[in-house]
Amino acid sequence: GAVVSQHPSWVICKSGTSVKIECRSLDFQATTMFWYRQFPKQSLMLMATSNEGSKATYEQGVEKDKFLINHASLTLSTLTVTSAHPEDSSFYICSARVPDSRINSPLHFGNGTRLTVT
């Protein structure tokens, strides 16, 4: 089946630094990938849609200058949390859908990245 790999699985960084998270589709090409965030005891929330070769689309309330998304190839999307602060500590997870699949086709998720900002 379709596999989405996410790296790193966890990261601890100091406040003010930037952190890059990678999301790769291993056995299929994904023109579109999705980035989610989950705070403790809250549900998974879509942050942005990453489009290969064009600008990402951000959900309302998500700062595009803080969460930089780059989708430079058909198998790789990156999320960079810039100038991270403790309130950015969260679980970040990416997903992708197999191309040409139906609208109801399920997404394939990466394993997620636990970010802790100290």
Partner 1 sequence: DQQVKQNSPSLSVQEGRISILNCDYTNSMFDYFLWYKKYPAEGPTFLISISSIKDKNEDGRFTVFLNKSAKHLSLHIVPSQPGDSAVYFCAARPPNFGNEKLTFGTGTRLTIIP
Among 9, 15, 17, 118, binds partner 1 (CB under 8 A): 9
Kindly tell me the burial class for residue 53, based on how many C-beta atoms sit within 10 Å of its own C-beta (0-12, 13-18, 19 or more): exposed
Tally Cβ neighbours within 10 Å of residue 17. 12
Check residue 4 for interaction with partner 1 (CB under 8 A): yes
Check residue 103 for interaction with partner 1 (CB under 8 A): yes
Among 41, 53, 54, 87, binds partner 1 (CB under 8 A): 41
Query: Of 16 and 106, which CB lies nearer to partner 1 in the complex structure?
Result: 106
Q: How many residues does the chain have?
A: 118
Residues 50, 116, 68, CA angle at the centre, nearest 5°?
25
Check residue 107 for interaction with partner 1 (CB under 8 A): yes
Tally Cβ neighbours within 10 Å of residue 10. 10
Binding-site ranges for partner 1 (CB under 8 A): 4, 6, 9, 32, 34, 41-46, 49, 93, 95, 97, 103-112
